[in-house]
Structure 1
Amino acid sequence: MTDRRVGRRAFLAAAAAAVVAGCGADEPPPSDPPSPSPTPKQPAGPASDPPLLTPDLPASAPWQPGANEISPEVKVAAVRVLEALGTVPDGVPVSPAADRLTAAGAAPALEGFAGPLLPPVAPAVAQLVYAQYGGLERTTASVMAIVKQTWADGDNLGERVVTVDVRLAKSGSGWAVTELRPVAPVPDAAAGLTGPAAELAGSDRVQLPNAAVADLAGGIVDPRVVAALLQLAQAYQLSVSVFRNGHPENVFGTDRQSNHTRGRAVDIWAVDGRPIVSMAKDDPFLLDFLAAVRATGSDEIGAPVDPDGGPGGDYFADDLHRDHVHLSFERAA
């Protein structure tokens, strides 16, 4: 028994040795590892900068009037021209703007009135902040518009706010823009303000377009108007459209000088973020606000509704004032 077990172990050991020997005999001897490929030389000099990425512009969407607008086609005609001038796709020259104006149904000659309504570079987007009537007659109109312009300048975005008085005339085919009267933006308009005017311009409860801040800086605005806005701002957040610049000089359709031209008036287009034009005439919020306006001492208040119900008081109402509240001081200080 012992001899047989030893013989089997010897067989297994011999078989294993044969397998190992056979495997080694069939393989070629190991060769030296291949030499690495030479690394291509890099050109001398600094690495090139990565391409600049164009920042995202705001979405461009045509403005649409709300449900309570009076003669909305007038405002639409005005705004389409402003959008055509200020919205410029990438790769399209800012000027000439004839093709964009023609596509908007407007006269190419309007570019001659555009001034700051044309952005400094393209691509650019013009967004309407608000469109308010400055005058509305049977065949003529004024639309005061606040337009925010945004453009891509390299890898930065630039922006500014422009106020413009758009004049229109009615023709057989509808309303057409005949003239543009933009107010040139004033950089750092609030820098030199002091006292109540500085408080008003710096308030986060009163939204002022650039032209309105420039009016404050120019000493144009009656101190009573400034005080009235500060008083109202204690209870309300206000969005102002215009003091003087950007408003027709005369009461539209007359030869009477407007209180805006005298610096004694301000137009408010939204209260607590709610556009005046969106409010019903019997809205308690609107009526409370009008009472607060009278409490400032204003003696000429134009609004969508006359709370006193008739002529002779401090209030007056008409279609022109359906889209804003006019706070004014008729009597001299």
Structure 2
Amino acid sequence: MKRTAVDFLESALTVDVNDAAVPARERIPSELASDKAVDDLAPLLGNDSISTEVVYPQLGGLTQTKASIIALVDTQRFEKHQIVRTTRVLDLRLTRFDGNWRVTAVKSTGGDLKGSGPTQPTDSSEPSSELVAQVLADDNITLTDTSIQDLLDGDTDARVLEVVRDFARDHQLSVAVLRTGHPRDVFGTDRQSNHTRGKAVDIWKIDGKPVSYYAEQPADDNPARGLMEAALADGSDEVGGPWAFATRDGATFSNTVHQDHIHIGYEN
């Protein structure tokens, strides 16, 4: 299922300048994606050459026949005689037909980044607080341009940023998604996700290794489990990851979806 999502994005969003005039539908096998999914990517296409790599395909939700993939996408576009690199968070929806997965929609293309290049604070877009500025400036915290824009737009719960900042004092963290690029509702329900309420973060990599790697390692001295414990200690009441356990500060949850990232949220 993840391979289908990656193949779709990298084929649809890798275009030589000589092929820019060829409709995307003609470049993508119909068994890989629906017409709607191809059309949904139109905001990211243009007349310029573009090269795309999916950095990480994270599960955003899963049932027997439906799935969400939250894809961290690195694009390099040749614009005005220079290469412009942008990292976005996309929300893909897939449906299973006769045992095979197919991309049927792209619910988010990573938001409005206020321009084609990497998102950075400007005179008209200053960090909304000292805490946001600290997170943006922290070399131990890797953010996509989509997540940077989320921070600049405001409305991210301070507790989310504090737990990331505090754990990053001793570890390198890579953020998968804050708000934009995550399904609006908890997948398969009509309950709004704390991500889209600005009250959650997903971490996909710690100290240079993906959470899926740590999920296969012993829990003792495991930085991924350590992050889950730290989130509970910092007051998070919604911590998901590869392990379900309880401490004096609360309990975590685990399922198939949360084997490849750590979710830290605040319901209350």
CA-to-partner distance for each residue in 1:235-263, whole Å, 9 max, x for gaps? 11110011111111111001111111211
Q: Does structure 1 residue 80 correspond to structure 2 residue 17? A: no
**Equivalent of residue 210 in structure 2, options 251, 275, 279:** 275
SS across alignment from 2:23: coil
**Secondary structure of the residue that 1:252 maps to in structure 2?**
coil
CA 150–277 in structure 1, closer or farther in 2 if over 3 Å, else same: same
Which residue identity does 1:195 align to in structure 2?
E
How far did residue 297 of structure 1 move? Answer: 1.9
Residues 276 and 325 in structure 1, CA contact (< 8 A), matched pair in contact too: yes
Q: Which amino acid aligns with 1:93?
A: A
Matching residue's letter, 1:212: S
User: How many residue pairs were aligned?
Assistant: 255
Is the 8 Å Cα contact of residues 36 and 105 (structure 2) preserved in structure 1?
A: no
Instruction: State TM-score, norm by structure 1.
Output: 0.71
Q: Offset of 1:86 from its aligned partner? A: 1.0
User: Which residue is equivalent to 1:118?
Assistant: 45
Amino acid at match of 2:138: S
- Measure the CA separation in 1 of the matches of 2:22 and 2:260: 33
Deviation at 1:313, TM superposition (A): 4.0
Could you tell me which runs of 5 or more consecutive residues in structure 1 were left unpaired when the two chains were aligned: 1-73
RMSD (Å) for aligned C-alpha atoms: 2.1
Superposition map of 1:56-71 within 5 A:
none
Residue of structure 1 in register with 2:259 after alignment: 322
Report deviation, 1:226.
1.1
Instruction: Give the drift of 1:217.
Output: 1.4
Alignment pair present for 1:290 and 2:228: yes
Residue matched to 1:266: 201
Determine the structure 2 residue equivalent to 1:59.
Answer: none
List alignment gaps of at least 5 residues for structure 2: none
Name the CA distance, whole Å, in 2 between partners of 1:88 and 1:164.
18
Q: 2:72 maps to which residue?
A: 146
Further displaced range: 299-308 or 106-115: 106-115
2:78 and 2:136 mapped to 1: Cα distance? 27
Moved over 6 A (4+): none
CA contact (8 A) 2:17 2:48 kept: no
Q: Describe the shift of the 1:236–1:176 C-alpha distance in structure 2 as closer, same or farther (beyond 3 A).
A: same
Q: Does 1:190 align with 2:128?
A: no
Q: 1:298 to 1:268 in 2, by over 3 A?
A: same
Question: Alpha-carbon deviation of 1:103?
Answer: 7.3
Structure 1 residues 173 and 301: CA distance shift in structure 2, 3 A: closer
AA in 2 matched with 1:200: V
Separation in 1, partners of 2:163, 2:19: 46
**Counterpart-to-counterpart distance in 2, 1:217 and 1:99:** 38
Q: Does 1:127 align with 2:63?
A: no
Superposed CA deviations along residues 131-180 of structure 1, whole A, max 9, x for unmatched, are: 11110011100001010111334642122112110001110150111101
CA distance in 1, matches of 2:76, 2:31: 20
* Mean CA deviation greater in 239-248 or 184-193: 184-193
Which entry has the higher C-alpha Rg, 1 or 2?
1
Cα separation, 2, equivalents of 1:208 and 1:270: 11
- Distance in 2, matches of 1:258 and 1:156, equals 39
In 1, the alpha carbon distance for the partners of 2:22 and 2:86 equals: 19
Equivalences for residues 161-200 of structure 1 within 5 A: 161-181=87-107, 182-186=109-113, 187=115, 188-191=119-122, 192-193=126-127, 194-200=129-135
Task: Give yes or no for contact 2:36–2:104 (8 Å, CA) kept in 1.
Answer: no
When residues 119 and 305 of structure 1 are mapped into structure 2, their CA distance, relative to the original with a 3 A threshold, is farther
SS of residue matched to 1:317: coil
Provide the C-alpha distance between the structure 1 equivalents of 2:31 and 2:77, rounded to a whole number of angstroms. Answer: 21
Per the alignment, residue 153 of structure 2 pairs with 218
Q: Does 1:308 align with 2:234?
A: no
Deviation at 1:108, TM superposition (A): 4.2
Amino acid at match of 2:55: V
Mapped to 2, the partners of 1:238 and 1:120 lie a distance apart of 35
Q: Which residues of 2 match residues 5-20 of structure 1 at below 5 A?
A: none
Q: 1:319 to 1:205 in 2, by over 3 A?
A: same
Distance 1:95 1:113 in 2: 16
Structure 1 residues 37-67: Cα deviation after superposition (integer angstroms, max 9, x where no partner): xxxxxxxxxxxxxxxxxxxxxxxxxxxxxxx
Higher mean alpha-carbon deviation, 132-141 vs 179-188, is at 179-188
Q: Which protein is richer in strand relative to its size?
A: 2
